[in-house]
């Protein structure tokens, strides 16, 4: 992955350790609304714990911002409204504003109404 290449470049430049801090929650769900993400099982966060991702990437530490932390960073002082989320965060939470009608194995598509 790109992260592994970046880690190698940092080590090649002389760093003794590499610590990743990701400014989003882990992406564990595909996006059906325009972001080209792979099938869920191909997303690291869908199949691995944070420690497993750290080991997979070969970095010394790995941390993500929490979902509430993301909302607070976007100016929502009280964080995410769980009953009525202020933004689409389905790729992080798995809670889609509109449920996809069908998830096909060869990708994700909305099933046409018959």
Q: What is the pLDDT of residue 37?
A: 80
Q: What is the pLDDT of residue 102?
A: 53
Q: What is the pLDDT of residue 50?
A: 97
Q: What is the pLDDT of residue 111?
A: 40
List the domain boundaries for the chain. 2-108
* Nearest in space to 25 (alpha carbons), one of 77, 60, 62: 62
pLDDT, tens digit only, all 114 positions of the chain:
699 999 999 999 999 999 999 999 999 999 888 888 878 888 999 999 999 999 999 999 999 999 999 999 999 999 999 999 999 999 999 998 877 665 544 444 444 433
Q: What is the pLDDT of residue 114?
A: 37
Distances, alpha carbon 31 to alpha carbons 60, 75, 95, in Å: 29, 23, 11
DSSP character at residue 24: S
Q: What is the pLDDT of residue 1?
A: 66
């Amino acid at each position: 992955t790109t992260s592994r290449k970046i880690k190698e470049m940092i080590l090649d430049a002389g760093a003794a350790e590499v610590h990743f801090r990701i400014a989003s929650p882990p992406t564990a769900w595909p996006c059906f609304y325009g972001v080209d993400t792979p099938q869920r099982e191909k997303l690291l966060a869908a199949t691995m714990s944070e420690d497993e991702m750290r080991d997979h990437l070969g970095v010394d530490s790995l941390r993500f911002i929490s979902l509430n932390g993301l909302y607070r960073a976007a100016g929502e002082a009280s964080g995410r409204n769980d009953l009525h989320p202020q933004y689409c965060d389905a790729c992080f939470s798995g809670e889609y504003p509109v449920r996809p009608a069908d998830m096909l194995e060869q990708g994700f598509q909305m099933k046409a109404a018959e």
